[in-house]
Structure 1
Amino acid sequence: MGWLPDTFGFSASLPQIMKKSGIEVFATYKLLWNERNEFPYHAFIWKGIDGTEIPVHIMMSYKSSMTAKSLYKQWKRYKNKYEVPFLLYAYGYGDGGGGITWEMVEMMKHMNKVPHIPKVVKGYEDEYVAELKSCIDNMPTWEGELYVEVHRGTYTTNLKMKKYMADAESVLRSAEIWSTIAEMLGLVEYPKEELEKLWKKILLHQFHDVLPGSSIREVYDEAIEDLKKVIREAEEIIHSVLERIAEKEGNDLVFNDLPWKRREVVEVNGEYHLLEAPPLGWKLFEPIEAKEGVKVRDERDKIILENEYLRAVINKDGELISLYDKENKREALRSTSNVLMAHIDTPGMWDAWDINEDFLIQGEKLKTLEEAKVVYQSPLIAVIKVVKGYGNSGVTQFIKLRKESKLLEFETKVDWKDKEILLKAWFNFNTHNWSSFYDIPYGVIERPAVRNTPWEQAKFEVPALRWADVCDGDYGVAIICTSRHGYTNWDSKIGLSLLKSPIYPNPWSDLGEGEFTYYIYPHKGDWFEGEVYKRALEVWSKLRVVKAKRVEGKAKEFSFMRTDAVVGALKKAEDGNGYILRLYNPSKEELEVELPREGIEMDMIELKELGKVSRKVKLKPFEIKTIKIS
């Protein structure tokens, strides 16, 4: 049974994840908090993006008092009495803890003697699950995400918490992958206990209200130090394993933990190199000579950056006034973009949690304190620096373009001192799109970019995991950011939330120094044809270079597998017998993957075998497969 009463919305990939983890029904509550639109069902079938269905029951409260009035009001409010003629009644002090009291237990004995209220039955989970599943044929269906029209600020609040969480997830995935491959080659023993301890520390800090940024200061004093330690220890595991591989190969190596070939400009010990790496493997560290590279022209009122794919024109305020896609022969911007705006943010009762739509209509552009200027130039990379300010706060951006890259990079450092501000970067792309697309955990969701209906209007700030894409089918532009998750989208205009500095419940929230990087990526077609998901994973999990004692001619290129699917995990099986390869299809079309060897499909928690799979396995649209290989 899935039990998440106080969570602020649910992604459309969750039905598949729950079903493949042995969860048969889902109970929740917070959908009743919608500000603008009353959710139409309290018992329904929830259909995810891949077609998986799971029955959902909404409780009317998660902190009831076991009184006749409470029982009567909840039953009266419950919408689906005829389809599902019973309701979950969760009683006790549930928000802040405390549980049930002896008075509530005593009152329960008398409730069934009171007229005009529903009968109270004490039951067990298996009885409840069986009862709810028996009503499936009568339930209405809701398809897509369960968006909660409240607490939209939690996508952004507490910059450091979200930054360290994104980094921790990245390095732990890498630590598992390289430890697995190295153990398969007989070079190391898989550090199962250490990795499990680190994952559990991460999962602890994904708990409500820690990751949303809506906890008190003392929580973050502890959580951020824990995440720093997780990152440090995972990096030590990675470095130790990669050093062992490099020693065996007898040469300096470039490592790539993504399952497609990469060619990128990488910084190594303060120097830039253009490097290649095979899919999910390594090769000799051989920097590619750059005959022609990034060009820079510093004109009186603007700076022009240009490489093989892009020509970016930046004004002296650090704003983007043109981004020409040379490959597709198209201007990517409709009007001036990368406009940094400070929006007054005083939502009232739920300060760290909420954003009010009227704040987004008004805003003040940040002032330019130091005009844009070129601070670094080489054939491989050019860097522009601009310093902006608001009140007592400062924002420094380094705008970068690398050789052979289709990404325009905005490395951003903040020194924030002002409270009750929502800082957004606004873009206006040259697309006319009725809808836009967003990265969610193991999925992609389409949302309206128009504001005709109350349901569309309510989605004035929406979440994404690592990217958002504005496209018209033939052409699109993506914003990629692995640690900033809040977006506003009205037609071709899209705003990325960079920082939110509330007073309650943590007056120190988002004060001081912080940093993050976002990228603009114009592309042909939709997110899959344009490989938006690949670019996002590449900036989340960068190429690594490891030095070793060189042995002339010894190193060989190695690739574990190649696929356009996402390798979500490659790790030791939980039972210690074999290895787990988790694959995900980020496309609306079927995708074929060639495995390194035959295997057995498992459920997600590795308790049930679902059948043998051959070396060529097909993934349905948005399907996740968990495969055990020897």
Structure 2
Amino acid sequence: LFYNAWDIDFNYRKKPKKVLKEISHICFMDGPKVIRRNIYKYKKTKIVMDTILTENSNLIEFSLDIEFYEKFKMLRTEFNPNFFSDEVTCEIQFGVIKRSTLDNDPISKAQFEICAHKFVDVSNENYGLALLNDSKYGHHVKNGIISLNLLRSPIYPDKTADRGRHHIRYALYPHINNFENSDVTQTAILFNNEPILVSKRLSFESIIKSDTPNIVIDTMKKAENSNGVIVRLYESIGKTCKAKIKTSFKYNNTYEVDLLENIIKPIKIDELDFSPFEIKTLLFEL
């Protein structure tokens, strides 16, 4: 793979590849988790991979600790599910985009490597399979294969790119229903925001929440130029809907604002209308 940081060879899948062999494994339990730990080695590279099943969870999690010392090599994980679809749903910022999994025209052929944020999902009307990731964005979803790019080793512009130690997480999430009627988005958000464990018992109400599953509350911050709170939320699956927002804090007035926090109009948060993938920014005046 004699390509540097921003390029991948169109024909890279035709080049020789090495399936890493397991050199040892153990199985053990850790609280509610059942873990199989596999150890792989390739030249100077070492991979310790935990495959994790957790009680009351539908995720198959993978946690990798890697010492990677390669040059012009790419490390990928691949899955070959027993069903597939002609489209893959890819999460992007503030929504999703559907791409072809076929190679029947120049555009779909050019999508031999695609980007996605927290997940890719292949589904039919009855069920689907999502590959969730934590900060790994390069995917190949073609011809029955779901592949995630874990590491590369280019030499330009950084001669030591990707060399060294890495901790990587990803997960498979089988679900019922098609993507639009699943909880893939919510599950991916939770996977990317692990709970913080503390040695105390805590109980508190959510600061802000929506009554509509496909409305994602993405950002909450102090207003720049007024005594207020800014909340940014969006419709996540491409459907027109209505939503009601509830807060646990007191406020005086609510406004829809632009990205510079200039007031557009006053609004009522118990009757918000969203068009597909619409982003709204709200000002709660304190």
TM-score normalised to structure 2 length: 0.90
Does residue 628 of structure 1 match 2:278?
no
The structure whose residues are more often helix, as a share, is: 1
Does residue 373 of structure 1 match 2:26?
yes
Q: SS of the counterpart of 2:147?
A: strand
Structure 1 residue 614 displacement after superposition: 4.0
- Aligned partner of 2:236 in structure 1 is 586
Structure 1 residue 525 displacement after superposition: 2.1
- Aligned partner of 1:426 in structure 2 is 78
Structure 1 residue 556 displacement after superposition: 5.8
Amino acid paired to 2:282: I
Distance in 2, matches of 1:511 and 1:480, equals 24
Amino acid paired to 1:390: Y
- Aligned partner of 1:47 in structure 2 is none
Q: 1:591 to 1:542 in 2, by over 3 A?
A: farther
Distance in 2, matches of 1:614 and 1:424, equals 45
Distance in 1, matches of 2:152 and 2:205, equals 45
Distance in 2, matches of 1:592 and 1:492, equals 37
Contact 1:367 1:388 in 2 (8 A): yes
Structure 1 residue 424 displacement after superposition: 1.0
Distance in 2, matches of 1:537 and 1:378, equals 24
Distance in 2, matches of 1:429 and 1:526, equals 16
Aligned pair count reads 276
- Aligned partner of 2:144 in structure 1 is 492
**CA-to-aligned-CA distance 1:217-263 (integer Å, 9 cap, x gap):** xxxxxxxxxxxxxxxxxxxxxxxxxxxxxxxxxxxxxxxxxxxxxxx
State the identity %. Answer: 27
Contact 2:95 2:238 in 1 (8 A): no
Structure 1 residues not aligned, in runs of 5+:
1-344
Contact 1:442 1:586 in 2 (8 A): yes
Structure 1 residue 378 displacement after superposition: 4.8
Q: SS of the counterpart of 2:179?
A: coil
Structure 1 residue 421 displacement after superposition: 0.4
Structure 1 residue 557 displacement after superposition: 4.3
Contact 2:34 2:54 in 1 (8 A): yes
Distance in 2, matches of 1:445 and 1:359, equals 25
Amino acid paired to 2:138: G
- Aligned partner of 2:250 in structure 1 is none
Structure 2 residues not aligned, in runs of 5+:
248-252
Amino acid paired to 1:346: F
Alignment of 1:131-530 (within 5 A): 345-347=1-3, 351-362=4-15, 363-370=17-24, 372-374=25-27, 376-378=28-30, 380-530=32-182
Contact 1:379 1:403 in 2 (8 A): no
Structure 1 residue 379 displacement after superposition: 5.6
Contact 1:366 1:388 in 2 (8 A): yes
1:559 to 196, 206, 225: 206
Does residue 618 of structure 1 match 2:273?
yes
2:224 to 567, 571, 574: 574
Q: Which runs of 4+ in 1 moved over 4 A?
A: none
Q: SS of the counterpart of 1:599?
A: strand
Distance in 2, matches of 1:484 and 1:557, equals 32
Q: SS of the counterpart of 1:365?
A: coil
Structure 1 residue 530 displacement after superposition: 1.8
Distance in 2, matches of 1:562 and 1:611, equals 20
Q: SS of the counterpart of 2:175?
A: strand
Distance in 2, matches of 1:356 and 1:521, equals 30
Distance in 2, matches of 1:518 and 1:390, equals 21
Distance in 2, matches of 1:566 and 1:354, equals 33
Contact 1:473 1:526 in 2 (8 A): yes
Q: SS of the counterpart of 1:592?
A: strand
Contact 1:528 1:586 in 2 (8 A): no
Distance in 2, matches of 1:449 and 1:556, equals 45
Structure 1 residue 418 displacement after superposition: 1.4
Structure 1 residue 613 displacement after superposition: 3.1
Alignment of 1:516-555 (within 5 A): 516-547=168-199
Does residue 609 of structure 1 match 2:264?
yes
Distance in 2, matches of 1:511 and 1:540, equals 24
**CA-to-aligned-CA distance 1:111-149 (integer Å, 9 cap, x gap):** xxxxxxxxxxxxxxxxxxxxxxxxxxxxxxxxxxxxxxx
Q: SS of the counterpart of 1:456?
A: helix
Amino acid paired to 2:209: R
Structure 1 residue 521 displacement after superposition: 0.3
Q: SS of the counterpart of 2:217?
A: strand
- Aligned partner of 1:284 in structure 2 is none
Distance in 2, matches of 1:471 and 1:561, equals 31
Q: SS of the counterpart of 1:426?
A: strand
Greater C-alpha radius of gyration: 1
RMSD (Å) for aligned C-alpha atoms: 1.9
Q: 1:510 to 1:378 in 2, by over 3 A?
A: closer
Q: SS of the counterpart of 1:346?
A: coil
Amino acid paired to 1:585: E
Amino acid paired to 1:367: K
Q: SS of the counterpart of 2:267?
A: strand
**CA-to-aligned-CA distance 1:148-168 (integer Å, 9 cap, x gap):** xxxxxxxxxxxxxxxxxxxxx
